[in-house]
């Protein structure tokens, strides 16, 4: 079995499924509204390498990399990525991916848009993330394309920056766990991030929310201003609210993908969240924090009034 649905995954399974999938599974099993999806477990990547006789080829290339020479690093890791992507995926893995993708279909969309994202860990280690090191693909449609993007996720474990990071940390390359997640896209009208601790001041009794119209990219990209809410935890009370002038938004297009577009005039200075939505976000965020026993950094989105939890991880405070 090379594929597990989120319902079959828990937080303790990060060595098998990578950190991202382990937490998505945990949140799903907490009965939170997580977009449906599945994980191609870490063992599938090594099975792909073995079936295509790639392990020894990759090992030989990796042993010759000069990590002090950027061009040499990029050239040789590119060669490794090409080996992984160009090799045929074992049919037993492909069949499971296709079956699970088809299970994500609904009445209004038989070929749903999904995100294919890297979920990572390191064998025999508590490390369960390498932020920004591996590839992510949004608005992927069709089983065949999903399979190809899974291979590209596998290959991204050999991006130059990822290989350099492992080398610097003294991590053996073949201890990397790469376990892609495939998850339904949320076509949000409002999205953002939430911290169950003030990430700047470290104040534990404050929740900080940033939000904007459209998809979450509007909050994380730094291209436009977002609304900011600072809320007291017990009881929930908005201590500070800064409503930004939001002139640009990032929205899904019918053909797939997304684009920047002007915000409707009447919404430019309008708050992105209602009082009820702020309270709903705070209640769910505190329940996630209580469950994990540590401060949380949560990505969320509202689509047609329904709140979706997209990701949760330990929050970093101050200079951490």
- CATH (domain of 274): 3.30.470.20
Residues 63 and 125 in one domain: yes
Question: What percent of the chain is modeled with pLDDT above 90?
Answer: 82
Residues 112 and 227 in one domain: no
Residues 179 and 210 in one domain: no
Residues 260 and 204 in one domain: yes
pLDDT of residue 136: 84
Confirm whether 139 is domain-assigned. yes
Residues 222 and 102 in one domain: no
Confirm whether 320 is domain-assigned. no
State which of 129, 161, 184 marks the end of a domain.
184
State which of 154, 184, 214 marks the end of a domain.
184
Residues 26 and 172 in one domain: yes
Confirm whether 289 is domain-assigned. yes
Residues 91 and 172 in one domain: yes
Confirm whether 287 is domain-assigned. yes
For the segment 21-39, what is each residue's pLDDT rounded down to a tens digit? 999 999 999 999 999 999 9
For the segment 1-12, what is each residue's pLDDT rounded down to a tens digit? 999 999 999 999
Residues 201 and 169 in one domain: no
Give backbone dihedrals phi and psi of 139, rounded to 5 degrees, phi first: 55, 50
Q: CA dihedral defined by 276, 281, 283, 284, rounded to 10 degrees? A: 140
Domain with 109, as residue range(s), is: 3-184
pLDDT of residue 217: 86
State which of 147, 169, 184 marks the end of a domain.
184
Q: Say how far residue 215 (Cα) sits from the centre of its chain.
A: 14
Confirm whether 238 is domain-assigned. yes
Neighbours of 150 (CB within 10 A): 28
Residues 248 and 159 in one domain: no
pTM (2 d.p.): 0.89
Query: How large is the average pLDDT for residues 99-115?
Result: 87
Please, are residues 246 and 267 in contact by the beta-carbon 8 Å criterion?
yes
For the segment 258-268, what is each residue's pLDDT rounded down to a tens digit? 899 999 999 99
Confirm whether 231 is domain-assigned. yes
Helix (H) or strand (E) segment spanning residue 248 = strand 248-252
Q: Left if phi > 0, otherwise alpha if psi is -120 to 50, otherwise beta: which for 44?
A: alpha
The structural domain count of the chain equals: 2
Residues 221 and 154 in one domain: no
């Amino acid at each position: 079995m090379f594929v597990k649905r989120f319902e079959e995954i828990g937080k303790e399974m990060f060595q098998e499924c990578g950190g991202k999938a382990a937490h998505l599974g945990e949140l799903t099993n907490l009965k939170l509204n997580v977009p449906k999806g599945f994980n191609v477990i870490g063992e599938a990547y090594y099975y792909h390498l073995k079936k295509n006789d790639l392990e020894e080829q990759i090992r030989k290339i990796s042993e010759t990399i000069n990590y002090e020479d950027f061009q040499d690093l990029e050239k040789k890791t590119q060669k490794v990525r090409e080996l992984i992507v160009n090799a045929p995926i074992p049919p037993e893995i492909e069949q499971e991916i296709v079956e699970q993708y088809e299970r994500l279909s609904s009445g209004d969309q038989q070929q749903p848009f999904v995100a294919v994202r890297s979920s990572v860990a390191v064998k025999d280690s508590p490390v369960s993330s390498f932020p920004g090191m591996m590839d992510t693909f949004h608005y992927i449609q069709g089983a065949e394309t999903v399979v190809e993007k899974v291979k590209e996720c596998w290959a991204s474990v050999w991006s130059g920056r990822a290989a350099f990071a492992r080398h610097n940390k003294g991590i053996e390359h073949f201890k990397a766990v790469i376990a892609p997640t495939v998850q339904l896209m949320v076509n949000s009208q409002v999205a953002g991030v939430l911290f169950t601790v003030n990430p700047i001041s470290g104040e534990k009794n404050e929740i900080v929310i940033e939000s904007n119209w459209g998809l979450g990219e509007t909050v994380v990209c730094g291209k436009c201003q977002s609304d900011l809410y600072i809320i007291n935890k017990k009881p929930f009370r908005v201590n500070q609210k800064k409503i930004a002038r939001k002139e640009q938004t990032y929205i899904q297009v019918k053909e797939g993908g997304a684009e920047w577009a002007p915000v409707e005039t009447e919404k430019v200075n309008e708050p992105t969240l209602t009082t009820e939505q702020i309270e709903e976000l705070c209640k769910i965020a505190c329940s996630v924090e209580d469950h994990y026993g540590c401060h949380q950094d949560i990505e969320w989105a509202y689509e047609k009034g329904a709140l979706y939890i997209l990701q949760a991880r330990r929050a970093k405070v101050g200079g951490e």
